[in-house]
Every structure is written in C-alpha cells, then in structure tokens.
Amino acid sequence: MLSPSILSRPVYPGLRVDKFARLNLILAEGDGAEAVLALSQTPDATCAFFARSLIFHCAVNAAERAILPALEALAPQALWSFPSAETTLVRLRGVLQTATMGTRILAAGTEPFIGQVVAEAAVFGVDPRSIITEHRGSTRRRVQCVHCKGMIENVTQNPVVCSHCGLSLFVRDHYSKRLGAFQGVCIDAEAPGHIPAAEELYP
C-alpha cells in the first residue's frame, strides 16, 4: 500500500464490498484485476454482489488480457475489456451519464489510473471519498507541468523533461485530486543549466 508523503496525496485502503450498493462499477487496470479476484474471495463478495456489478477491465497487452476468463467466471452483470485507460474512461463516462443513486465505484490499478477514474467521476458529482480504491502495480506517476499545463504520463524518474515544453521538472509530492496528477516545477529556474542526474524513483 502506498503511504502518503504529503497530506494532498490520497490513500488506497483496498477494495471492499458495500452491501447497500445497488450497482457496482468496478474498474481494474493491469494488476488491478488481481485485486478484483482477491475481493471475490472475501465473505461479502457473493454471487449477488457480482450480479450487480459492471467490470471495466483495462488491459494493454496479452499478458494482462489473460486474466479475462477468471473475471468472466465471476459472472458479473457485464464485463468489458479495453486497450487503454482513455477508452476505459470513455465507457465509464457513458455509464455515469445514466447512473442513479446507489451506484458505487471501485477502482484498482496504478495511481495514475485511479486518479483519472476519481477525476472523471467527480465531473458527475461523485465525492472522491466515496470511491473504493486499491493500488496495484507500478508506482509510476502522472505529472502536470505547472508551466505549460501539459500532462506527462508514466513518469518513473525525477527530475523529468516535460514532453510538451522541454523544461526539466522536479516532480513534487503535491498531488492534485482534480487533475489526478502530481505537480512538476522547473528545477533550474534559479540556476539555469544546473540539473541533477535523473533518478529512478517510481518503478
């Protein structure tokens, strides 16, 4: 479990069943599918729970898609598999447009994926604190350059070069829940050209 290094950073306590939910939207990215299978082994995750669940599975490669039969065996109300986070979020957006009271969102996967799910749901009035989350997989980060506002995906090093404006950015631990991203600021603003070697900090 990731520990918050600053108060703005969310915590991810793990997937659990809300017995009062009428419909569950379960979003799993990559290793997050393992969290869904682990949830299915808990006493509260009965057949009735999955019969009231829509599973959105984000799998970018064949290895991640190999878990689909195990997810199908849970007999959810529906199971969709998508090749990217973007397409997963498009389907989530469509479902949320007609969602009613009693809908619960569960998200498992990397921090950038969970952050984007939370941010997308917030557009539809879903309180981020109501979303049940579990971190699985890489600790890579999604970073917004505060100078050009561009988003940099899959950041594993600090500092990192902005792929939009070319500035070398120090990746701060400050996390924007609205954007689902960490903040990157110019590392050599006061001493141009003085840029430390990049370190692999978020494998």
Residue 3 domain-assigned (yes or no): no
Same domain for 190 and 94, yes or no, is no
Residues in the chain: 203
Of the candidates 184, 149, 153, the residue with the CA atom closest to the CA atom of residue 170: 184
pLDDT at 1 over 70: no
CA-only gyration radius of the chain, Å: 18
Residue 68 lies in a domain: yes
Q: Does residue 162 belong to any structural domain of this protein?
A: yes
Final residue of a structural domain among 86, 105, 135: 135
Q: Could you report the per-residue pLDDT of 56-89, keeping only the tens digit for each?
A: 999 999 999 999 999 999 999 999 999 999 999 9
User: Which domain range does residue 153 map to?
Assistant: 141-200
Percent of the chain with pLDDT over 70: 97
Residues in contact with 90: Cβ distance below 8 Å, sequence separation at least 6, in sequence order = none
Confidence of residue 2 (pLDDT cuts 50, 70, 90): low
Domain final position from 111, 135, 159: 135
**What is the CATH number for 71?**
3.40.50.80
Question: Are 78 and 108 part of one and the same domain?
Answer: yes
Q: Determine the Cα–Cα distance for residues 142 and 198; give it in Å rounded to an integer.
A: 17
- How many domains does the chain divide into? 2
What distance in Å separates the CA atoms of residue 182 and residue 8, rounded to the nearest whole number?
Answer: 10
Q: Residue 175 class from Cβ within 10 Å (0-12 exposed, 13-18 middle, 19+ buried)?
A: buried
Q: What is the pLDDT of residues 166-196, one digit of tens each?
A: 999 999 999 998 899 999 999 999 999 999 9
- 161 and 120, same domain (yes or no): no
Distance in angstroms (rounded) separating the CA atoms of residues 191 and 195:
9
Residue 9 tokens, joined = 């950073």
Q: What is the 3-state secondary structure (H, E, C) of 28-83?
A: EECCHHHHHHHHHCCCCCCHHHHHCEEEEEECCCHHHHCCHHHHHCCCCCEEEEEC
Whole-structure pTM value: 0.90
Among 99, 116, 135, where does a domain finish? Answer: 135
Let me know whether 124 and 70 are in one domain.
yes
Question: Is position 116 within any domain?
Answer: yes
Would residue 17 count as lying in a domain?
no
pLDDT 10s digits, 28-55: 999 999 999 999 999 999 999 999 999 9
